[in-house]
Amino acid sequence: MTKILVTSWLPCDAKSGVGTYMRKLRDYFKNDPGIELTFLLVDEAPLPWRILAAIVRRMIRSLAFLNPKFIELSFEYRYRILIRGGLTRHRHTTFDLINAQDILSGYTAKRFFDNRIPMVLTCHFNNNPVEEDMLRYGLKGSSRHYLTRRYRRKFSAVDEFIFVAGFTIRTAGFLLPKDARATVIYNGLDFAVPRPRSCNDRLSILNTGYVEQRKNQQLFIPIAKELLRRDFRQFRITLVGQGPDLERLRTIVAREGLTEYIEFAGWSDNIPAFLEAADLYIHTSLLDTCPYSVVEAIAAGVPALAFNVGGLPEMLPRDSLFSPNDHIGMVDYLLDNKGQLAAIGARQCERAKTDFSRTVQVERLRSIYTKYNHQP
């Protein structure tokens, strides 16, 4: 039995791709006789640790007037304290491996156990993490060297890297040790035989995910306008998800008179029901690594269109990829192929299941996990 501690700085109900990954991981291995997963999430810290984390964060953040990097540091130390607090519950547990879902939780856990337990890091970032942090915390270019140094130090504690797309190995490779062991294991789902899809009276276009600037769902407004300009009115765009841009986007859709064509369904855990009714999935994100939403569409036999960015060229054939924000190209493709969508979806499904099926993901993860089994 290989005993694995899965760590993350996210709360248990995180509505994100990483949260979905961990829920899938729990499901995939729950009945595995050779693998035992224990999950440590940030909201498991006892109350005294949460109080301490809040105090430390405020103290460090109060120094932001000296340098904006203290904003980033305040979050770093807050989560370090919360993770250590959660780890106190496991101080007497024997683990073979730490599978960290982010470097902060993994680095903290490895130090908590005095570097006795090897760490495998699953890298979910969409760009290299230095650039992500600079964007997230509004840091200036002068912080790039400081962040690079810190990430290199933390990554030096990793025994093996799992990337969910080859794209991120290329973008973040400069942060890794020279002798780093890195493997690509894509996000996997169950691939069933696509059922024959019935023709809808209206073309049903779907998008699922967090509604934010990077996901770029606002592009559905010019898509809808272009379809109407070409006198194609038999369509319905359904956006499933919530996020900081949701209300702004809803307001713009109403102002533009598009409420008949663009529907907001809110958050849902029943994505298969929406996919069953969909003719086409359009992924508008400007940068993504291996989005579950695209894998879900392909696995259901729903054809997907996306931009030629990030890890998406590893997921979709070239004719389904477009330049960023090329809504005209997407509309051209949609109208030229509206009678062939079911066949396109079946081809995408057959192409993707070699790398993106649940079976393949589990086999590849298991081959890494079992290397670290030191139980007698």
What are the residue boundaries of the structural domains of the chain, listed by start? 2-188+358-372, 203-356
How confident is the prediction for the chain on average, in pLDDT?
A: 93
Q: E strands of 230-357, at which residues?
A: 235-240, 262-266, 280-282, 304-307, 321-322
Q: What are phi and psi of 239, to 5 degrees?
A: -105, 120
* CB contact burial 135-146 (16+ within 10 A = b; e otherwise): eebebeeebeee
Report whether 6 contacts 101 (CB < 8 A).
yes
Please report where in the chains the tokens 């209206």 appear, as a residue: 202
Mean pLDDT over 272-288 rounds to 95
CA R_g for the chain: 22
The model's pLDDT over 150-190, given as tens digits with 9 standing for 90+, comes to: 999 999 999 999 999 999 999 999 999 999 999 999 999 98
Report whether pLDDT(375) > 70: no
pLDDT score recorded for residue 6: 97
- Classify domain 2-188+358-372 at the CATH superfamily level: Glycogen Phosphorylase B; (3.40.50.2000)
pLDDT score recorded for residue 150: 94
Residue 295 to residue 298: CA distance in whole angstroms = 5
2-188+358-372 against 203-356: fold identical: yes
Report whether pLDDT(13) > 80: no
Which of the four pLDDT bands, split at 50, 70 and 90, describes residue 10? confident
Beta pairing, strands 304-307 & 321-322:
parallel
The pTM assigned to this predicted structure is 0.90
pLDDT score recorded for residue 67: 86
Report whether 134 contacts 144 (CB < 8 A).
yes
Query: How many helices (DSSP H) and strands (DSSP E) are in the chain?
Result: 14, 12
Report whether pLDDT(228) > 90: yes
Mean pLDDT over 99-127 rounds to 95
Q: Is 4 helix (H, G, I), strand (E, B) or coil?
A: strand
Mean pLDDT over 5-17 rounds to 83
247: Cα separation from own chain's centroid? 23
Report whether pLDDT(196) > 70: no
Which whole-number Å values give the CA distances from 123 to 118, 126, 269, 336, in the listed order? 16, 9, 24, 38
Tokens of 251: 């307001």
Report whether pLDDT(194) > 70: no
pLDDT score recorded for residue 192: 72
Fold of 203-356: Rossmann fold (3.40.50)
